[in-house]
Amino acid sequence: MSGFDETLLDDAGETVRVRFVVNGRKVACEVAPRETLVDCLRNGLELTGTHAGCEMGACGACLVQLDGRAVHSCLIFAVQADDAKINTIEGLAESGVIADLQAEFHRRNALQCGFCTPGMLVNAHELLSQVARPSRDEIRDALSGNYCRCTGYEAIVDAIDAVAKARSEDGGPA
């Protein structure tokens, strides 16, 4: 006897039904127990704005809002998010809550190749929902978990800073 457990092979094709509210819509998916939330969103729900980058929670490309908090969807199994409210970059964009951030990123060329942009926007949205007028150092600190290989970050910091100033003058998001 080799010590190999053949019952593990029987479970290899097992799926679990999970339900979420994604971008305001109730959805259900059949997922493997070890399928990550990012893979479920991208492959099962075709929400490809959330990117799978490092798959270790270090780059920030996979950020989504889970029950109102930004999380790395590559580090969460889809089954862990059962019954959760999830907002992806598509949902935040469609709702208009990040329209001013998107416009300022575009105006300041803070989105060169665009791979990191969804995670940057989710992170910026979370920061500005917690701190109305963050300092540039606070913005840099908040972005420390997001990798960008194109912009050098300064344009991104400038964009978030400009939106924070405009929101504080106007009384809130557009």
Tokens of 162: 């400009």
pLDDT for the residue numbered 3? 56
Tokens of 146: 């997001």
pLDDT for the residue numbered 4? 47
Interatomic CA distance for residues 37 and 76, integer angstroms: 6
| pLDDT average per 10 residues of sequence, the chain (174 residues) | 50 86 97 97 96 94 96 97 98 98 96 92 97 97 92 93 95 60
Rg (CA), the chain: 18
pLDDT for the residue numbered 11? 56
pLDDT for the residue numbered 1? 46
- The per-residue b/e assignment along 109-141, b for 16 or more CB within 10 angstroms, e otherwise, is ebbeeebbbbbbbbbbbbbbeeeeebeeebbee
DSSP E strands: which ranges in the chain?
16-22, 25-31, 63-66, 69-72, 85-87
Tokens of 41: 């969103």
The widest CA-to-CA distance across the chain, in whole angstroms, is 73
Tokens of 171: 């009384």
pLDDT tens-digit map of 54-104: 999 999 999 999 999 999 999 999 999 999 999 999 999 999 999 999 999
Q: Is 0.95 surpassed by the pTM of this model?
A: no
